[in-house]
Amino acid sequence: MVASTPSKKLFSVTLRVWRQANPDQPGKFVDYPAHNVSPDMSFLELLDVVNDGLTVSPEEPIAFAHDCREGICGTCSCTINGKPHGPGKGVATCQVYMRSFQAGDVIVVEPFRATAFPIIKDLVTERSAFDKIQQAGGFISARTGAAPDANAILVSKAAADLAMDAAACIGCGACVAACKNASAMLFVAAKVSHLGLMPQGQPERDRRVLAMVQTMDEAGFGNCTNQYECSAVCPKNITHDFIARLNRDYVGALFRSELQSVSTSAGGGA
Amino acid sequence: MAKLDSKIPSGPLADKWQQHKTQIKLVNPANKRKYEIIVVGAGLAGSSAAATLAELGYRVKSFVFHDSPRRAHSIAAQGGINGAKNYQNDGDSVHRLFYDTLKGGDYRAREANVHRLAEVSTNIIDQCAAQGVPFAREYSGHLANRSFGGAQVSRTFYARGQTGQQLLLGAYSALSRMVGQGGVELHPNSEMLDLVIVDGHAKGVIVRDLNTGVITRHSADAVILATGGYGNVFNLSTYARQSNATAIWRAYKRGACMANPCYTQIHPTCIPVSGDYQSKLTLMSESLRNDGRIWVPKDKADVKKEPSTIAESARDYYLERIYPSFGNLAPRDVASRAAMRMCDEGRGVGETGLGVYLDFADAIKRLGEPAVRERYGNLFDIYHEITAENAYQAPMRIFPAVHYTMGGLWVDYNLMSNVPGLFVLGEANFSDHGANRLGASALMQGLADGYFVIPYTIGDYLAQQKPSARSNIDRPEFKQAAESVSTQTKQLLDNPGKEPVSHFHKRLGKIMWEHCGMARTKQGLETALQKIPALREEFVANVKVPGSAETLNQSLEQAGRVGDFLDLGELMCRDALTREESCGGHFREEYQYPDGECKRDDEKFGHVAAWEYQGPGQAPLRNVEPLNYEFTKMSVRSYK
């Protein structure tokens, strides 16, 4: 019941891969020729094949991040020919197929580069800064067991659909890698917009945006200067319109939080 | 012999859970902070459990081998989650969901567990909506539903084709909230490599930091495993590449029983294999069967023709023909085997002949392309990325692939394994799906276990444990376990072998698919039981693991996991050989009705088989937990 390899035209490419043994050592590009490449092979499957070859050579296999291989877990994270997640539109690295390349191509493969994403090894980076931002406020506080009937809170289809557009973010960090400022604004905007569009998210809306933005700044991400490279490479096509929404929420929350602190001190221990 | 007490409460079926909750022991709020709980895995079950236990006041340590809990493979579930809300007014009820799930599992699950699952299904929908999960809505603002296989009502809630992602992000946000508040100590990039047992109770784990290689010991008052299923034994599956059985397998080797390991689910609608380099099979959600029609040519001679040139009268819509009342929404095991029979008859389509058509032409005619795009657009996009084909214009080609494992560590009604203090949740346990899981029930079970079962039942165990009695990690049990992990790592790295791990994994996968896949025979399973130990010997002698133990070393991680798959694959075949009947996902060719349907033997096999480890090189012991059907009749499952 195992399929035989179909008769597609095979070709050769060269992978020029960033190798770095650990965070403290300098890295460099190394070339690896790859032959008998099928157009139906995924880019990561090609890395698997190259690694099987390296395993039985004196050199170590290339470390690269991957897991679901269907574009939803957000683990894979290469920059391919200068573009995070490679040549496709609206896909992650694991959804890049070799039919996107030509025979004889030199394919340059690097890790996502950003101060807030230090390199662990080869193509693998540390992206826990995103988790810290979530922990600061990326949630609706709903204790288990305290929820009302799900249809007790109506959500307009338009709001739910727009929230879903934002919630599709897979937390891969391509937006950061593509940005010349290594800004995480698209990531934070997606989360803030998703939760802020839902009626359930209103009570914590101000607190959420202030805490998430502050944590983002502290983690070493840069600011947004409206180049929109982020949305151009986003594997889920999340639009930079959400950044405008984030800015509106942030400014409003700042304004309201000041009012609140004034009134608290004026009111005295209620 | 392991003691298998299912601890099913007495009383009427519908009252068991409510009564049980009022009767089990509680830990008072001030004492909860004195207890520490280890949760391994951070998918739907692990994240929801860790968050909820921390909300209750327990101190929780969460371990996950991913770099973030949000990456756990629950994220990939597409279609939806069942909930017996009856929002559609189509006659749904807790009892109907219970009955559908029990029947779907081919009467090999416990009645009481399945009923509880159906009861809490409604709470799950409420909980997720409160967290802001952006479920699909009607224009009125009410929640929308769709249908899934094995059911005649619309009870599946969904968020486009990314329901698992949105539910996991909900659970992850709850977990993140508790991490931020200090209730959960999060350990990402941390793989559990052994379970520590002290005085017969699970009291800790040994963990390797995947980035630094440092091995650490962690003690607690209870250990929860929520580490998912073991379908990657087959190498090619819809699982994530890193999904593995190591945590549950190491627990098995420490005495936890492995129940019904042969129950594996082969999902009918996946994208067919294209070549030997393939690392992954991609699922096309079952929700597509709401509107897509499955067919093959009636005549073998037509299989290589363009599908659009095959006349309507020359097509065999075989699911609609054989199962008129359920049609294209027949349960997964039934639909998968039907596809296999069509291919065996030589009527399979595509380059390899291992495929059937899933056709949307009628749906597009009926609803218009925009409506089809709205419902399934992302799935059509995925299909296009992988195959470079446009499914709006030509039918998809699909074929069954390994998707889920119903078997897992044995647990009682409280989700505790036969090792006291070791709890197992979600796909990692065996409890609720019997021999076949219905669509949209995995998300339901993961969240039921984590949000609504374990928070109650773990208290019953902890109330009997003194918090001050927590083990010191310098105890010999911890030292021995940590040393055995280090030794194993060293052995793999020092092995003078010549072949990469992936070669062994591929070979194991082929043996399993051929002999322990969709159809199994005595002879095939006996062959597999010869081949797998031989392959394991070869693995031990000839695997090459490059690099060092002190850094990120993905070959080393994979070698440990594949080593465990080799052992587990053998146990699966042994279980399949011993179970001389067909039920759900376990189809033995010797036991079938003339029309090819499963022939169960309730008299001899109306039980759970729970395998107990007896040491290296020893045959495991087969324990039995009888399944007592008090409220429903074990009948022949029919979808005709």
Angstrom distance (rounded) from CA B535 to CA B513: 15
Could you say which of B402, B435, B453 is where a domain stops? B402
C-alpha distance from A260 to closest chain B C-alpha (Å): 23
Whether A86 and A96 have beta carbons less than 8 Å apart is answered as: yes
Q: Does the beta carbon of A139 lie under 8 angstroms from any beta carbon of chain B?
A: yes
Query: What's the token pair of residue B527?
Result: 């062959």
* C-alpha dist (Å) from residue B341 to B269, B292, B354, B356: 15, 20, 11, 11
C-alpha distance from A179 to closest chain B C-alpha (Å): 22
* 3-class secondary structure, B36: strand
Its sign, for the CA torsion B70, B74, B79, B80, is: negative
8 Å CB contact of B87 and A151: yes
C-alpha distance from B306 to closest chain A C-alpha (Å): 18
Its sign, for the CA torsion B139, B143, B148, B150, is: negative
8 Å CB contact of B130 and A154: no
Output the CA angle B402-B407-B408, nearest 5 degrees.
115
pLDDT reading at A5 higher than 70: no
**Which of B172, B241, B352 is closest, CB to CB, to A6?**
B352
Output the CA angle B531-B535-B537, nearest 5 degrees.
120
Q: Which of residues 60-99 of A touch B (CB under 8 A)?
A: 60-61, 63, 65-75, 88, 90-91, 95, 97, 99
Within a domain: B633: no
pLDDT reading at B510 higher than 90: yes
CA B419 to chain centre: 21
Query: What's the token pair of residue A130?
Result: 């995103």
Tell me the average pLDDT of chain B: 96
Amino acid A260: pLDDT: 58
Q: Which of residues 226-245 of B touch A (CB under 8 A)?
A: 240-242
8 Å CB contact of A4 and B352: yes
| B181: closest chain A residue by CA | A135
8 Å CB contact of A163 and B165: no
Amino acid B583: pLDDT: 97
With cut-offs at 50, 70 and 90, classify the pLDDT of residue B285: confident
B596 and B512 assigned to the same domain: yes
B378 and B486 assigned to the same domain: no
| B385: closest chain A residue by CA | A95
Q: In chain B, what percentage of residues exceed pLDDT 70?
A: 100
Neighbouring residues of B81: CB distance < 8 A, sequence distance ≥ 6: B124, B125, B128, B156, B157, B158, B163, B167, B440, B443, B444, B447
CA B473 to chain centre: 32
List the catalytic residues of B: 332
Residues of chain B with C-beta less than 8 angstroms from the C-beta of A74: 70-71
Angstrom distance (rounded) from CA B37 to CA B427: 20
10 Å CB burial of residue B199 (0-12, 13-18, 19+) is exposed
Angstrom distance (rounded) from CA B118 to CA B105: 14
Amino acid B149: pLDDT: 80
Could you say which of B384, B402, B420 is where a domain stops? B402
Q: Does the beta carbon of B451 lie under 8 angstroms from any beta carbon of chain A?
A: yes
| A72: closest chain B residue by CA | B76
**Burial track B323-337 (b if 16+ CB lie within 10 A, e otherwise):** beebbbbbbbbbbbb
Q: Which of residues 210-249 of A touch B (CB under 8 A)?
A: none
* 3-class secondary structure, B341: helix
Whether B447 and B171 have beta carbons less than 8 Å apart is answered as: yes
Whether A41 and A144 have beta carbons less than 8 Å apart is answered as: no
B375 and B493 assigned to the same domain: no
Per DSSP, helices labelled H in B79-137 are: 94-104, 111-130
Half-sphere exposure at residue B59, Cβ-oriented, CA atoms within 13 angstroms: 11
Query: What's the token pair of residue B619?
Result: 């045959």
**Which of A72, A136, A150 is closest, CB to CB, to B125?**
A150
With cut-offs at 50, 70 and 90, classify the pLDDT of residue A1: very low
Q: What is the CATH number of the domain that holds B584?
A: 1.20.58.100
| B185: closest chain A residue by CA | A135
Amino acid B468: pLDDT: 72
> Average of pLDDT values for A150-159?
97
- Reported as a single tens digit per residue, the pLDDT across B309-348 is 999 999 999 999 999 989 999 888 889 999 999 999 999 9
With cut-offs at 50, 70 and 90, classify the pLDDT of residue A266: very low
Task: Assign 3-state DSSP to chain B and report helix, strand, coil percentages, each to 5.
Answer: 40, 15, 40
pLDDT reading at B168 higher than 70: yes
Neighbouring residues of B206: CB distance < 8 A, sequence distance ≥ 6: B192, B193, B194, B195, B196, B215, B216, B217, B218, B478, B481, B482, B485
> Which is more confidently placed, A6 or A90?
A90
B289 and B398 assigned to the same domain: yes
B387 and B482 assigned to the same domain: no
Amino acid A259: pLDDT: 59
Within a domain: B143: no
8 Å CB contact of A200 and B132: yes
Its sign, for the CA torsion B372, B377, B383, B385, is: positive
10 Å CB burial of residue B119 (0-12, 13-18, 19+) is buried
**Which of B241, B501, B552 is closest, CB to CB, to A66?**
B241
How many domains is chain B built from?
A: 2
CA A126 to chain centre: 12
Name the pairing type of β-strands B222-225 and B36-40: parallel
Q: Which domains does chain A have, with CATH numbers?
A: 11-121 (3.10.20.30), 128-267 (1.10.1060.10)
pLDDT reading at A268 higher than 50: no
> Average of pLDDT values for B203-231?
98
DSSP A101: S
Amino acid B276: pLDDT: 85
Q: Among residues A89, A81, A86, A84, which one has the least CA distance to residue A107?
A: A81
pLDDT reading at B558 higher than 50: yes
ipTM above 0.90?
yes
| B374: closest chain A residue by CA | A161
- Contacts for B96-100 with beta carbons within 8 Å, 24 or more apart? B96/B153, B97/B121, B97/B155, B99/B632, B100/B150, B100/B151, B100/B438
Within a domain: B620: no
Q: Which of residues 18-57 of A touch B (CB under 8 A)?
A: 21-22, 38, 40-42, 44-46, 48-49, 51-52, 54-56
8 Å CB contact of A151 and B276: no
* C-alpha dist (Å) from residue B302 to B292, B294, B321, B389: 21, 16, 19, 20
Within a domain: B174: no
Within a domain: B396: yes
- Reported as a single tens digit per residue, the pLDDT across A175-222 is 999 999 999 999 999 999 999 999 999 999 999 999 999 999 999 999
8 Å CB contact of A155 and B73: no
B482 and B602 assigned to the same domain: yes
Residues of chain B with C-beta less than 8 angstroms from the C-beta of A71: 382, 385
With cut-offs at 50, 70 and 90, classify the pLDDT of residue B378: confident
> Average of pLDDT values for A7-28?
93
With cut-offs at 50, 70 and 90, classify the pLDDT of residue B383: very high
Please, what is the end-to-end C-alpha distance for chain B in angstroms? 42
* C-alpha dist (Å) from residue B322 to A151, A229, B435: 38, 53, 22
Report if pTM > 0.90.
yes
Angstrom distance (rounded) from CA A48 to CA B503: 11
pLDDT reading at A254 higher than 50: yes
10 Å CB burial of residue B594 (0-12, 13-18, 19+) is exposed
Q: What is the CATH number of the domain that holds B361?
A: 3.90.700.10
Q: What are phi and psi of A124, to 5 degrees?
A: -100, 130
How many CB atoms sit inside 10 A of residue B152's CB?
A: 13
**Which of B68, B162, B240 is closest, CB to CB, to A69?**
B240
Within a domain: B594: yes
Whether B189 and B210 have beta carbons less than 8 Å apart is answered as: yes
DSSP per residue, B393-440: TS-EEEEEEEEEE--EE---TTSB-SSTTEEE-GGGB--SSTTSPPTT
C-alpha distance from B165 to closest chain A C-alpha (Å): 8
Within a domain: B127: no
With cut-offs at 50, 70 and 90, classify the pLDDT of residue A4: very low
Q: Which of residues 293-332 of B touch A (CB under 8 A)?
A: none
- Find the domain containing B527 and state its range: 476-607
Half-sphere exposure at residue B527, Cβ-oriented, CA atoms within 13 angstroms: 13
Angstrom distance (rounded) from CA B639 to CA A93: 41
Query: What's the token pair of residue B451?
Result: 């949000």
Q: Does the beta carbon of A129 lie under 8 angstroms from any beta carbon of chain B?
A: no
Count contacts between A and B (CB, < 8 Å). Answer: 247
| A134: closest chain B residue by CA | B176
Q: Among residues B280, B531, B228, B305, which one has the least CA distance to residue B386?
A: B280
Angstrom distance (rounded) from CA B472 to CA B459: 22
* C-alpha dist (Å) from residue B284 to A120, A145, A225, B366: 34, 33, 39, 21
Neighbouring residues of A160: CB distance < 8 A, sequence distance ≥ 6: A198, B134, B135, B136, B137
Amino acid B597: pLDDT: 86
- Reported as a single tens digit per residue, the pLDDT across A20-68 is 999 999 999 999 999 999 999 999 999 999 999 999 999 999 999 999 9
B397 and B480 assigned to the same domain: no
Angstrom distance (rounded) from CA A242 to CA B280: 33
8 Å CB contact of A195 and B132: yes
> Which is more confidently placed, B596 or B561?
B561
Amino acid B275: pLDDT: 84
Task: Assign 3-state DSSP to chain A and report helix, strand, coil percentages, each to 5.
Answer: 40, 15, 45
8 Å CB contact of A3 and B273: yes
Q: Which of residues 50-109 of B touch A (CB under 8 A)?
A: 51-52, 55, 66-73, 75-76, 85, 87
C-alpha distance from A135 to closest chain B C-alpha (Å): 5
Within a domain: B316: yes
B271 and B397 assigned to the same domain: yes
